[in-house]
Amino acid sequence: MSIKEKIKTAASIIHSSNYIVVFSGAGMSTESGIPDFRSPGGLWSKYDPGEYAEYSAFLSHPEKFWTMHKELSQTVLEASPNLGHKSLVTLEKEYRKLKAIITQNIDFLHSRAGNSNVLELHGSGQTACCLSCGTEFYYTDIQKQLDEGKEVPKCPKCEGLIKPNVVLFGESLPSNVFQQAIAEISSADLLIIIGSSLTVYPAASLPSMALDTGARIIIINDEATMMDHQADVAIHGKAGVILPLILEELRNIDS
């Protein structure tokens, strides 16, 4: 099937669906300038996740995490939602079909674009907390300490270690969010998987749950994924290009 035919097929599946859930990964945000993790040149080609993004490593060498965070946070703060994010807002607000976004991303771009029910499986870089006294911080409070040249931000109240509310390797996912994600997938009649290599568990276990509920599956990804053969349609391309084309097709069907 040509990419044009796949886009038509995806639009007709969306047209006949009423409870759409999106599962997104870092590929959703690369067109906003935020690198993904496993593509060539991705974050893990520069930083070993075992050293820079693992919980026990964070406790023993927090300066490594903060070095990576310093580079990435500027990119995230300067990033804006791309045409892929905006297409999902249209699917929610105009078509009233998109009921939830389950994202592995910590860049809060789905919320900034305007989607309302965003489940952040891996947390968000927007807030942080002191690991000793539990004081909560907003990311601008931390940015100030980093801008003043502090290598490792510390809690102004108790000098404890501050950690952004993102899930590092070796940490469990927020169980309430995971349970909500399972509930959304079980209600979905269509799951659209966008920009994920589907290689990191337990997050990657969610899309396959849709196979058991009989939901249709659309995959939009820059490369093949291990679920392509189980999808109703798998489209290889950029989310910021493919999603607007699918919406265009949807308008044609509706007109």
Instruction: Name the residues that contact ligand APR, by CB under 6 A.
Output: 25-27, 30-31, 36-39, 42, 49, 104, 122, 195-197, 199-200, 220-223, 238-240
**Is 69 an annotated catalytic residue?**
no
Query: Taking the CB of residue 253, how many other CB atoms lie within 10 A of it?
Result: 12
| Shortest distance in whole angstroms from residue 40 CB to ligand APR | 9
| Shortest distance in whole angstroms from residue 37 CB to ligand APR | 3
Smaller CB distance to ligand APR: residue 155 or 178? 178
Rounded to an integer, what distance in angstroms lies between the CA atom of residue 172 and that of residue 214? 28
Pairing of strands 136-138, 123-130: antiparallel
Give helix 62-78 / helix 139-147 axis angle, nearest 10°.
110
- Beta-strand ranges (E) seen in 25-171 are 98-103, 118-120, 123-130, 136-138, 162-166
Cβ distance 191 to 23 under 8 Å? Answer: yes
**Nearest residue to ligand APR on Cβ basis:** 27
Smaller CB distance to ligand APR: residue 73 or 189? 73
- Residue of 61, 122, 229, 236 marked active site: 122
Collapsing DSSP to helix, strand or coil, 115 comes out as coil
| Shortest distance in whole angstroms from residue 159 CB to ligand APR | 29
Cβ distance 235 to 242 under 8 Å? Answer: yes
Rounded to an integer, what distance in angstroms lies between the CA atom of residue 72 and that of residue 61? 18
| Shortest distance in whole angstroms from residue 156 CB to ligand APR | 29
Smaller CB distance to ligand APR: residue 35 or 160? 35
Smaller CB distance to ligand APR: residue 65 or 189? 65
Going by C-beta distance under 8 Å and a sequence separation of 6 or more, which residues neighbour residue 96?
Answer: none
| Shortest distance in whole angstroms from residue 61 CB to ligand APR | 18
Rounded to an integer, what distance in angstroms lies between the CA atom of residue 204 and that of residue 153? 32
Going by C-beta distance under 8 Å and a sequence separation of 6 or more, which residues neighbour residue 35?
Answer: 26, 41, 42, 43, 75
**Residues classed as catalytic:** 122
